Amino acid sequence: MESSSDEEEARTFVQVLGEKYNPENFPYGQGVVVLSSPPGSPIKDRLFLPSALVLNHCGITKAGDRSDIAAFCAHVVELDLSHNQFNDWGEICTIVSNVPHLDFLNLSMNPLSSVKLEPSMADVFSGLRRLVLINTHISWDSVHTLTQNTPELEELFLCLNDYNTVSESQKSCSSLRLLQITENQLQHWAEVRKLGMIYPSLSTLVLANNSVESVDDSQETLQLLFPNLRSINLNNSGLSKWEDIERLNFFPKLEDVKAKGIPLLQPYTTHERRSLLLAQLPSVVVLNGGAVSHGEREDAERFFIRYYQDCPEQELPQRYHILVSKYGHLAPLAEVDLSPRSTMVDVRCGEKVEPVSLRLEQTVADLKKQLKALLQLPTNGIRLFYIDREMCSVLGPEELKCGSRALHSYGIRDGDEILVVPKVKSRCSSSDI
């Protein structure tokens, strides 16, 4: 009885295809091909099929009838089978072999750790350009079998597979341009070196959220291993020495670097991190996702000189001497006091006069609150007038009417006077002064 129940629960690619893309569940629209079921097919209706099929989270374990797959999927170029229950490469190969124009395949979150892809089966993947194998725990042997049989493969995603080593391959994959291998357990640069040997044409290498501790190779080795690398992502890696950042310059075409969350940068402020990184990487045009302008680079390089110029000679990085030869020795930046400005004024209310220190960045409304509390004035409101001691005979008092206006905009100076007049309900004006 249990086996019968299991068979009933097992779902096929063909079955799910018919359920999701029948006219009741999937509307006809642009880019959708309408196909009628072939004779004898278990699918008894027409299907509205787009060229990109998404069949994730469907509990699929088997392919189903290959003739149905061929009939319905001749035009399909993208196939998302992630979050299913495939654990047999034979079933996957049956599907792929009957989708002749398949360009993109996503097998993420399928349990492929204990199954091996035999080389004799792998030629069905030959047309793929993009392959996603995230959190499948696929073995390196099966990865190499795939890449050796996909001569047009350009993008490969191997994230979350718990790799702590990289197995060498007997044959390189020269077509691959992008490798994303984030969220694994890679720690030693020797493992990254293997990636350069297996995928010599890489343009983008995403190593984020691994624990790679250093960049250990020489300039000659890095130039040979990654001759075409333009972008590298080392976010949340274990880099802890400036020498590792300097070695990134040995990649001959590198222009895009991500290095957030590394131990090396923890002691620095946000501004220091970007400036010091930028000054160390003269060829980089995109840093941590942000484009680098000519002005920002010059500011960063000048900051770098000033940051290190008081260090002992033996502690100066090589880049310091290069930048000094470019800009010369720079004088320290003048210190600018940005603390809030204040001034002493006399506050007059009736016969009472008190010296008060005013913070000039505060507003008229702030000053009213301060003076009402200081002078214990009634809460029915006050009017304020500013008297310039030097110009009062010419200008007279100026009422501070705009509550949102900052005090510094009035030009208040030491020795000036603020006149406080309580508001009254009778018709009074400034003649009360």
- 294-308 and 270-280 helices cross at what angle (nearest 10)? 100
Q: Which residue, chain included where needed, has tokens 């249990």?
A: 2
**Checking DSSP bridges between strand 11-12 and strand 47-50, what pairing results, if any?**
unpaired
Burial of 257 (0-12, 13-18, 19+ CB in 10 A): buried
pLDDT higher than 60, residue 185: yes
Share the mean pLDDT of the chain: 88
Q: Do domains 13-237 and 342-422 have the same CATH topology?
A: no
Contacts of 428 (CB under 8 A, 6+ apart): none
Q: What are the C-alpha distances in Å from 90 to residues 63, 80, 117, 145? A: 9, 17, 8, 14
List pLDDT tens digits, range 243-297. 999 999 999 999 999 999 999 999 999 999 999 999 999 999 999 999 999 999 9
Instruction: Please check whether residue 306 is in contact with residue 323, taking contact to mean a CB–CB distance below 8 angstroms.
Output: no
pTM of structure: 0.74
> What is the residue whose two structure tokens read 């008229």?
364
Name the pLDDT band for 339 (thresholds 50, 70, 90).
low
Residue 245 has phi, psi (to 5 degrees) of -65, -40
Bridge-based pairing state of the strands 178-180 and 11-12: unpaired
Domain boundaries, the chain: 13-237, 342-422
Does residue 387 surpass a pLDDT of 80?
Answer: yes
Alpha-carbon torsion (48, 52, 57, 58), positive or negative: positive
140-155 pLDDT, tens digit per residue, is 999 999 999 999 999 9
Q: Which has the minimum average pLDDT: 281-285, 376-380, 398-402?
A: 376-380
Q: Which fold has domain 13-237?
A: 3.80.10
pLDDT value, residue 1: 38
The encoded tokens of residue 267 equal 């002691």
Say whether pLDDT at 189 is over 60: yes
For 376-412, the DSSP string reads T--TT-EEEEEE-TTTHHHH--EE---TTSBGGGGT-
CB 240 within 8 A of CB 213: yes
pLDDT range class, residue 63, cuts 50, 70, 90:
very high
Residue 320, pLDDT score:
94
pLDDT(45) > 60: no
Residue type, 330: L
The mean pLDDT of 221-232, rounded to a whole number, is 96
CATH class of 342-422: alpha beta
Percent of the chain residues topping a pLDDT of 70: 87
Is the model more confident about 147 or about 357? Answer: 147
